[in-house]
Amino acid sequence: SAVISQKPSRDICQRGTSLTIQCQVDSQVTMMFWYRQQPGQSLTLIATANQGSEATYESGFVIDKFPISRPNLTFSTLTVSNMSPEDSSIYLCSVPVSSYNEQFFGPGTRLTVL
């Protein structure tokens, strides 16, 4: 397993602003993943963050809206830019444990956009 912390745990933001979410892991990992979970919905993979290279985004997600940084093997940030109420979701980071199907998730960041 891994110990993952996310900051902030929750935030309420105004539309048009940006929020940066931090994900810290207690061990070095090659890959980190960012997910979004909209209210009452399942999880959707936003992007895969690799240290030393650009993140790989899934269909429907673009770097201008969700820029990701991965400065080292234990840390990553996801920024939600120019927010609208539709961005209100829980944002989670995760890391693979023993295999890519077995992932350990952080506690999530609950974002509300007014």
Partner 1 sequence: LAKTTQPISMDSYEGQEVNITCSHNNIATNDYITWYQQFPSQGPRFIIQGYKTKVTNEVASLFIPADRKSSTLSLPRVSLSDTAVYYCLVGDINQAGTALIFGKGTTLSVSS
> For residue 95, how many other CB atoms are within 10 A of its CB?
24
Which CB atom, from 7 or from 15, has the smaller least distance to partner 1?
7
Q: Point out which residues pair with 24 in neighbouring strands.
A: 5, 75
Residue 88 interacts with partner 1 (CB under 8 A)?
Answer: no
Which CB atom, from 13 or from 31, has the smaller least distance to partner 1?
31
- Minimum CB distance to partner 1, residue 31 (Å): 6
Which of helix, strand or coil describes residue 86? Answer: helix
Residue 105 interacts with partner 1 (CB under 8 A)?
Answer: yes
Of the candidates 33, 37, 40, the one whose C-alpha atom is nearest the C-alpha of residue 55 is: 33
Residue 42 interacts with partner 1 (CB under 8 A)?
Answer: yes
Which two tokens mark 22?
């931090």
Number of residues in contact with partner 1 under rule CB under 8 A: 23
Residue among 65, 75, 110, 112 that touches partner 1 (CB under 8 A): 110
Residue among 44, 69, 79, 88 that touches partner 1 (CB under 8 A): 44
Burial (CB count <10 Å: 0-12, 13-18, 19+), residue 30: exposed
In sequence order, which residues have a C-beta less than 8 Å from that of residue 59 and are 6 or more positions away?
Answer: none
Binding site for partner 1 (CB under 8 A): 31, 33, 42-45, 48, 56, 92, 94, 96-97, 99-108, 110
